[in-house]
Structure 1
């Protein structure tokens, strides 16, 4: 019997594009992947995004380079969003139980374990961006080319959005690799071959290639990866223990002018790089939660990294060298090394609640607006919106673990008090002299603007040790 050709002589009505613009009739008439095969591959993509989220989050804290910390935070968030989208799509394809926590293949698990355990920044960048991201991108494009564009339109939409951001991630990664890792490519070649061998053993990212069946010896992941909770900073952070300036005391002093307060708020924003360092520890060291927990917490982590970059941009826009401000890691270091993950979350939520009254984020926005610096108003407007969202995330995932809102706040207050009880000890250990860096930074901003520094502002000298009283006052109001 001859093969039917139903499209012969078919013309669209009045020349209208057919099939809602998804594809041509010829493309839709070609058989594609079965539902079973679609689900199998989508589960692999889901696993890859989930492991990349895990890797990037876990490596934020101990990565010294600021630009990498913020990029890892961003890319981890994007991966979390695509995990969420894939979970939704797979759940639509008659697949109960979903099995989304299963490992698709032991060699694929080993592949990502090796990347997680990469001992250097160069190897981490190389393996994440030139190998894992690149291979995932290729596999997803192959899927788009093989599945039926009409019958599997929802999956194609999910992957097309993912590929837009995967392309962005990949471009950034190649630039970072070129900047930091290119000189060590020859040294990384044996390990790069091991990663390729693991992918071959797994049948590729999507599992469509012949599996080699080879027995492969792990290298870096021969011993299970151990998360490093100690924050690291690059050489631009010259005195990360410094608590010589009490930003909160300056900001809430009615005698200080709004324009100078705006500069101090930029310091507060840039200082927020310690929040992703700490939140990465909560996410990494809190297993067994529903996926929504990790997605929402990673969104907050990314927002905090974005706030730090907002501070960076603000300094640059004002002609100020931000490295002259002493951006500390005291908070993330102390919480990560002295508190449990639950206590860290409690401190995070307790501080967030102090930002919600009128004397919190609304006040910062009003100061920014009154400063006469349009960029400052924009930065604080969005910072305020983000913090409201973060408070809601805390109410969704932290507060329900207690009998009441008061109990949850008391727990966070107690954990914060434990940390603050010996806050000044770093000076006694000779780690810093708590230098007052504010006059130099303020004078730099005034010089860039061509104005004379205000003597009262220039003379500000109050240490950070009054922070607890400031926070308690703000929360009470």
Structure 2
């Protein structure tokens, strides 16, 4: 449906020159690109689950917006000039992301300066564009503006954000360095993720959780009693957080990968965080427990994170997620047979999300092996030979270079 009714014959307005339009979208590109990159880097080290969730949801939202921005730049100016590199003025603000000492400082730059600057630029752009001759740009701008406003409005509930003086009047109008590029720095490797204050972290995790919960076939045990479900879903919530953190770091540590890879990782990061939220609600509303009631451990996370990107894709996406599909289906059916519909329904959408997660492994693992799907399958099989019965690597590498 057209934005302007077809019965409306108001005069066209001048709008923006195509080059000016491309420049504005290029500046949006640079802000979104680096916001996504650094949000991925710091997400595992944000201790608060709810703040971690918001960071993951916003970076996924920004990744989707970036797809639209990149496409519009291509449509307006399909050559090597755009998006170029940011001006010195914008680069100085983006450097603050790279210099952030932690998640709170990162959030201050994103929500206190960059996103408000993006909102102001989008408002100016929306007012200037002609909605008939450039309806495509209008739709993209309107979507971005609505989402960025929502991000800034919500952020103050999870971080102590101090509004900053604008660093310029109109960020969208800043010059770009045509045909140049800007490299992205990478944070040091993780030791382990951060969790909410008061969460007990031990080397062995929750001793209540036995191996039979995490194997496939006849040996698999489905938790059906209240106490074992409390421990199980608490452990599963942490596993979902670890999965989100692994995907976020896959993206952050590999800026050289194609943009579609980063979009897929952003979506899976958000998926895993949504799963964790489902378990948080289930524990509180159905099981009589809550996040933090039991100890957790990072042994599995560390064993997968130790691998390079190909190894992580093979072992997590291509093995852990693939084998979890059977367990989710099995758990769902057992619980339905026992009349536990509210618990069983959790596994319905977990199972649905595992399918694209497995495909992420196939797609990008194959990409890393020169597009050879047979080589990917062979690599998965090779690495699976080094797993124990629960799917955890027996002898992971020391600390693989990213």
TM-score by length of 1: 0.70
Residue in structure 2 matched with residue 174 of structure 1 by the alignment: 156
SS of the residue aligned with 1:81? helix
Residue in structure 1 matched with residue 73 of structure 2 by the alignment: 90
SS of the residue aligned with 1:71? helix
> Aligned equivalents of 2:7 and 2:296: distance in 1?
53
Residue in structure 1 matched with residue 301 of structure 2 by the alignment: 332
Residue in structure 1 matched with residue 48 of structure 2 by the alignment: 65
Question: Following superposition of structure 1 onto structure 2, how do residues 19-58 of structure 1 map, counting pairs within 5 Å?
Answer: 20-21=4-5, 25-26=9-10, 28-58=11-41
- Structure 1 residue 206: deviation in Å? 0.7
Q: Is 2:201 the counterpart of 1:239?
A: yes
- Structure 1 residue 410: deviation in Å? 2.2
Question: Following superposition of structure 1 onto structure 2, how do residues 395-474 of structure 1 map, counting pairs within 5 Å?
Answer: 395-402=362-369, 403=372, 404=374, 405-413=376-384, 420-421=393-394
Higher deviation after alignment, 167-176 or 380-389: 167-176
Does the 8 Å contact 1:139/1:206 carry over to 2?
yes
Unaligned runs of 5+ in 1: 1-16, 210-222, 424-477
Q: Give CA deviations for 1:285-341 in whole Å, capped at 9, x if unaligned.
A: 1232211111012111111111111111110112312311223332223433x3223
SS of the residue aligned with 1:398? helix
Residue in structure 1 matched with residue 95 of structure 2 by the alignment: 113
Q: Is 2:61 the counterpart of 1:78?
A: yes
Does the 8 Å contact 1:44/1:205 carry over to 2?
yes
> Aligned equivalents of 2:7 and 2:130: distance in 1?
9
User: Relative to structure 1, is the Cα distance of residues 115 and 415 closer, same or farther in structure 2, using a 3 angstrom cutoff?
Assistant: farther
Q: Give CA deviations for 1:176-222 in whole Å, capped at 9, x if unaligned.
A: 23xxx26xx6xxx9xx67xx5xx33xx7421259xxxxxxxxxxxxx
SS of the residue aligned with 1:61? helix
- Structure 1 residue 78: deviation in Å? 0.8
User: Relative to structure 1, is the Cα distance of residues 416 and 237 closer, same or farther in structure 2, using a 3 angstrom cutoff?
Assistant: farther
Does the 8 Å contact 1:239/1:326 carry over to 2?
yes
> Aligned equivalents of 2:34 and 2:291: distance in 1?
34
User: Relative to structure 1, is the Cα distance of residues 251 and 390 closer, same or farther in structure 2, using a 3 angstrom cutoff?
Assistant: closer
Does the 8 Å contact 1:19/1:25 carry over to 2?
no
Residue in structure 1 matched with residue 314 of structure 2 by the alignment: 346
How many equivalent pairs are there?
A: 373
Does the 8 Å contact 1:43/1:100 carry over to 2?
yes
Residue in structure 1 matched with residue 179 of structure 2 by the alignment: none
RMSD over aligned CA atoms reads 3.1
User: Relative to structure 1, is the Cα distance of residues 226 and 262 closer, same or farther in structure 2, using a 3 angstrom cutoff?
Assistant: closer
- Structure 1 residue 350: deviation in Å? 1.8
Question: Following superposition of structure 1 onto structure 2, how do residues 142-181 of structure 1 map, counting pairs within 5 Å?
Answer: 142-177=124-159, 181=160
> Aligned equivalents of 2:334 and 2:157: distance in 1?
38
- Structure 1 residue 248: deviation in Å? 5.2
